[in-house]
A and B are shown apart, each in its own frame.
Chain A
Amino acid sequence: MQRDLGDRVYGGLVGALAAASTLLLLAPTLVVLIISLTSGMTLKFPPPGWSARWYIELFHSPEILAPALISLKVALCTTLLSAVLGSAAALGIFNSRSRLARLLDALFMSPMVLPAMAFSLSLLLVFNVIGLRLSFWTLVLGHTIVCVPFVIRMVGAAVQQLDPVLVTCSLSLGASRWYTFRRITLPLIRRGITAGSLVAFLSSFDNVPVSLFLADARTEVLPIKLWAILEGSLDVRVAAVSGVIVVLTLIGLVCAEALGGLSRSFGKTSS
């Protein structure tokens, strides 16, 4: 096949841009992974030698494990709440044509647009006014509000792809509304719920601004603890924690893709 010069230049340019962007996106992650495997005592790059000692060290660091566990709990509770509330909201909003639905959509999306700091501060003030004391649950509530938009967006996309005739058809076959929801609607939007939940979990797990304002003294979350450790000393354990998080995230993404890929093959309508 013959290609003229312009085509080749274009192809080369796009290729170079793609390579540069990939490098830019991957480099920090790679650097932190490499540093976490250092045998030395500092965050020096390149490392003087290789060792898994900092990962082993993590298991003997209750001051890191405890916040990690709390972050995990917060993220799990947040994900569960966001998935249920967000899916319900998405079903309501995207099955309705009323103007109120559009308004609610914009309202639920607002935490995504507002600066997280301003939003967290205002939520703190509200808790103060109504006399709600900060606790694990105020933190979960704050996280849920900022994580719900992700679920609404992704479930909303799935709901919009759902052919409403399928629901009508289910009813015509004698199914109740609840049976129709369980057997038709839910399986067909499951991919959106899975994807939305994963994003909600990740964004809750590494959320800093909301946690800064809404956590009480006993509820210390991982990202803030890591920051506190780094402020005192350049501890390599922080790199090791980052390494663990990167690997776990990758596993999560692969699992979601496998799940999503699976349901996508079922979820595709013949049209």
Chain B
Amino acid sequence: MASSATMMQTTAAAPEARGCALALEGIGHSFGGTIALDAIDLAVAPGELIALLGPSGCGKTTLLQIIAGFVQPSRGSVAFDQQRVDRTPANRRRIGMVFQNYALFPHLTVAENVAYGLRARKAPGAMVRSRVAEMLARVQMTTFGNRFPRQLSGGQQQRVALARALAIDPVLVLLDEPFSALDKNLRLDMQIEIKNLLKSCGVTSIMVTHDQEEALSMADRIVVLNKGRIEQIDTPDALYDAPASLFVNGFIGHANFLAGRTAGARGLVHLAAGAALVLREATQRTAETDVTVSIRPENLTLFERERPGAIPATVRVAMPLGAVSVIECVLASGETVKVSQSRAAWSGQPGAPAWLGITDTTKIHVFDTPRGSPSII
């Protein structure tokens, strides 16, 4: 997966950028009394692929509908290439939309589906035919032109939906949970294919997803949304390596959260689990503050013998996941911790005592413990 992602990065710099720049300023939206979105600012460069990521109910779908023009925001403005489009109805925005269940027209053939947007714009027949042929070739569905949607597999339906959206030569493509209806095995292939396609078209794209892996593998930049607000906007790597908040840390990748308390200067933190760590990120904090320390599972190593600085633990369960094993341990404080390491490195049994060593303390993040909510641990 990592190798395919780097391959994509090179195609990302394709010169043929036809997409528009998108700017959202101060977008806010309320349904009745509840605030769905608040103070959303986002600037997207032409040709960029952005993922709106967040748990269900975070407002990401509403934001997509505001960009598409299906929902009129209560506050703020939407601009395509510096032109405000707040008053432009959805069918005049030149947006290609790929819906969650593809929304292919069941009574039209594949070719008619792809031609739909062009016909609706009264494009001349010859132009429609050549454009449909071009789009079908682009998604490798040329031989399926006369089939009906119900005769296609999920992946094929998605290709048609994308071809239909791209046929109208959109300035912006919006994808709503595009992979949620696909089998897990097919997902990665389709992600690679669609990312390639969007990048080769040079169109600006925004996808909505609740699946962090999807966002990490597809997007140039990810917008993490929580409770209607933007938590962080950054590249996938930066989100993983330098999460701005406890929420982002927990949402992107796996993380172990341990309760701790700062002690004096030089970043000393006492863990409730019974060890002391010197952490770079803790140096800014005053002593005697409750903090939450985040350690990624791959930053931990499990040892069968005691060694200095290691945290004592008891192994609860080991799950072999192919290349790596995930081992869950219980600490003296009652907190559970997941360790991810190669299968060969540890062969102990559940219930055995073990010691947790930290591979790289500079990769540990420290956050203020949210007041009154220890449930995040």
Q: Report chain B residues within 8 Å CB of A57.
A: none
A-B contact count (CB 8 A): 73
**Among the listed A172, A184, A270, which residue makes an inter-chain contact with B68, where contact means beta carbons less than 8 Å apart?**
A172
Cβ-defined contact, A168 with B149, below 8 A: no
User: Given A169-B97, A269-B106, is A175 in contact with B116 using a C-beta cutoff of 8 Å?
Assistant: yes
Number of B residues whose C-beta is below 8 Å from A? 29
Residue A50 lies at the interface, judged by CB distance under 8 Å to chain B: no
Residue B120 lies at the interface, judged by CB distance under 8 Å to chain A: yes
Cβ-defined contact, A172 with B101, below 8 A: no
Q: Report chain A residues within 8 Å CB of B120.
A: 170, 173-176, 179, 183
Q: Report chain B residues within 8 Å CB of A168.
A: 70, 99, 103
Cβ-defined contact, B94 with A169, below 8 A: no
User: Given A172-B95, A176-B120, A270-B149, is A166 in contact with B105 using a C-beta cutoff of 8 Å?
Assistant: yes
Task: Specify the chain A residue showing the minimal Cβ separation from B104.
Answer: A270
Cβ-defined contact, B150 with A269, below 8 A: yes
How far is B105's CA from A168's CA once the two chains are assembled, in angstroms? 11
- CB-CB contacts below 8 Å: A133-187 with B: 163, 165-166, 168-176, 179, 183-184, 187
Task: Specify the chain B residue showing the minimal Cβ separation from A271.
Answer: B101
Residue A45 lies at the interface, judged by CB distance under 8 Å to chain B: no
Residue A188 lies at the interface, judged by CB distance under 8 Å to chain B: yes
How far is B107's CA from A270's CA once the two chains are assembled, in angstroms? 11
Most B C-beta atoms less than 10 A away, residue of A163, A172, A269: A172
Task: Specify the chain B residue showing the minimal Cβ separation from A169.
Answer: B103
Residue B90 lies at the interface, judged by CB distance under 8 Å to chain A: yes
Q: List 30 A-B contacts (CB under 8 A).
A: A165-B101, A166-B103, A166-B105, A169-B99, A169-B103, A170-B116, A170-B120, A172-B68, A172-B70, A172-B95, A172-B96, A172-B97, A173-B164, A174-B92, A174-B94, A174-B121, A174-B168, A175-B91, A175-B116, A175-B117, A179-B120, A183-B116, A266-B106, A266-B107, A268-B106, A269-B150, A270-B149, A270-B150, A270-B152, A271-B101
Residues on B close to A: CB < 8 A? 68, 70, 90-92, 94-97, 99-101, 103-107, 116-117, 120-121, 148-150, 152, 157, 164-165, 168
Additional pairs, 7, CB under 8 Å, beyond known A168-B103, A172-B96: A165-B99, A172-B91, A172-B95, A173-B96, A175-B120, A184-B105, A268-B106
